[in-house]
Amino acid sequence: MGEHPVLFIPGPTEVLQELREILARPLCGHRSQAFVETVKSTCTALQGLFRTSGPAAFETCPATALMEAAIRNLVPRGGATLHLTCGAFGERWAVIADACGRKPHRLEAPWGSAHDPAALRERLLTSPPYEAVCITHNETSTGVIEPLRELAAVVREISPETLVLADVVTSLAGAPLEFEAWGLDCAFAGTQKCLALAPGLTVYAVSQRALERARRVPERGMLFDFVQAVPETMAGKTLATPCIPLVFALAAQLERIRKETLEARWRRHVAMQHETFAWAQQWGFAPYVADPAVRSPTVSSLQASGRDVEAMARSAREQGFQLDRGYGNLRDKTFRIGHMGDHTVDGLRRLLRAITV
């Protein structure tokens, strides 16, 4: 099965050999003309990935840093944000907003459920305006995908001056995302999820009105100052030394995605989700997410249903795979299968055979 366990966890996910070889290449100067041109073309390709004609860029950091950067750039100190929480990562964003001196409010949905756009409409109609609404598109901790398009449309209708910020960490390149058509203002994702690369970069898109808002927000910091970082990076001149090998690998992966097409990539992820839940039904594992309409196409969460999850994980390891034993309080009560990135249905079937105990 290879020299390392094949990762079917919700990130980092498996990286193809051809991309690992790019990561091992000798370094070059980040101000060299070849690298500058690669940065520029990568930003152009990211516009296509996010489906936007507006700005798109990347930074050397985990996606959590962009959670913070979005708050610092787009919400003035003391400003109110509304966080749609239905799992650990939506909650994390609210905690970050509080740590940055903002005033986070929560619209909660039970873990394993998505938000009803009608509930968001009611909150916006009965509350003072928020500076931003923060939505975790795909809640990795539970395997729920939010109806981001519909939620964003409610914000646009009821509170058009409010920005829509989206964590698309485990949806970008794995599930439909239309940044411009859906009226988003900031969205970001790490490279170690559906982009199937090593961790270390976060890619992001911002709207023009978000950049205009940022210009009016003081104390944005330096490295993550959207007003400076976005145009400079798009011009090929990152503000600081980036992870050079990973940028070259990202450029190659974006070209691979272009050739596959986003639509085909989305269909492949749905096919893996269907394969997972068909297997679960056959072997008596109940889905953690009851509503099929909001089950993630990139990470499936299943209840242990009386099985020994640790034994399943051990069986997977013995046969060259790694799966996840559940997040936080759900550990060993559930298990998660990350079927994202460059995984295939055939590869997933091999994992499922390995954990059928």
pLDDT digits (tens, 9 = 90+) for 3-16: 789 999 999 999 99
Q: Are residues 75 and 152 in the same domain?
A: yes
Tell me the CATH number at 276: 3.90.1150.10
Q: Is the pLDDT of residue 1 over 50?
A: no
Residue 130 pLDDT: 98
Give the domain-ending residue among 223, 258, 293: 258
Q: Are residues 92 and 209 in the same domain?
A: yes
Tell me the CATH number at 140: 3.40.640.10
Give the domain-ending residue among 222, 238, 258: 258
| 267-300 residue pLDDT tens | 999 999 999 999 999 999 999 999 999 999 999 9
For the chain, what is the mean pLDDT? 97
| 340-356 residue pLDDT tens | 999 999 999 999 999 98
CA–CA separation, 131 and 265 (whole Å): 34
CA–CA separation, 15 and 317 (whole Å): 18
Residue 356 pLDDT: 83
Asked whether residue 1 is domain-assigned, the answer is no
Q: Which domain holds residue 320?
A: 6-14+262-354
> From residue 351, how far is each of 1, 18, 272, 281, 347 by CA, in Å?
11, 22, 12, 16, 7
Do the Cβ atoms of 301 and 288 come closer than 8 Å?
A: yes
Q: Is the pLDDT of residue 304 over 50?
A: yes
Give the domain-ending residue among 258, 285, 300: 258
Residue 64 makes CB contacts below 8 A (sequence gap 6+) with 92, 96
Q: Are residues 191 and 109 in the same domain?
A: yes
Q: Are residues 219 and 109 in the same domain?
A: yes
Global model pTM greater than 0.95: yes
Residue 3 pLDDT: 74
Count structural domains, the chain.
Answer: 2
